[in-house]
Amino acid sequence: MLDDRLIGMTFINTSEFNTGTIEQYGVYYHYVIDGPAQVGDTLEIVGATPLGLIVRRHESRLTY
């Protein structure tokens, strides 16, 4: 899927709702937050569906 290139990208949550819209590469995407998140949290895109992006609060983790 074309939008799979967005998986792993992060952005700052500016909405107090669990849905919103972001602009990446000149295209506007709807997103739904999976789990708890507050305004100002860093969100990570974890999935892409025909209806929009699925995002979660970004957690710092080590990669080896």
Residue type, 33: I
User: What mean pLDDT do residues 56-60 have?
Assistant: 85
| Burial group, residue 7, by CB count within 10 angstroms (0-12, 13-18, 19+) | middle
User: Which pLDDT tens digit goes with each residue over 4-34?
Assistant: 889 999 999 998 999 999 998 899 999 999 9
* Contact status, residue 13 vs residue 22, Cβ threshold 8 Å: no
Model confidence, pTM = 0.84
2-57: CATH topology: OB fold (Dihydrolipoamide Acetyltransferase, E2P) (2.40.50)
Residue 2 has pLDDT above 90, yes or no: no
Give me 56's structure tokens.
């979660």
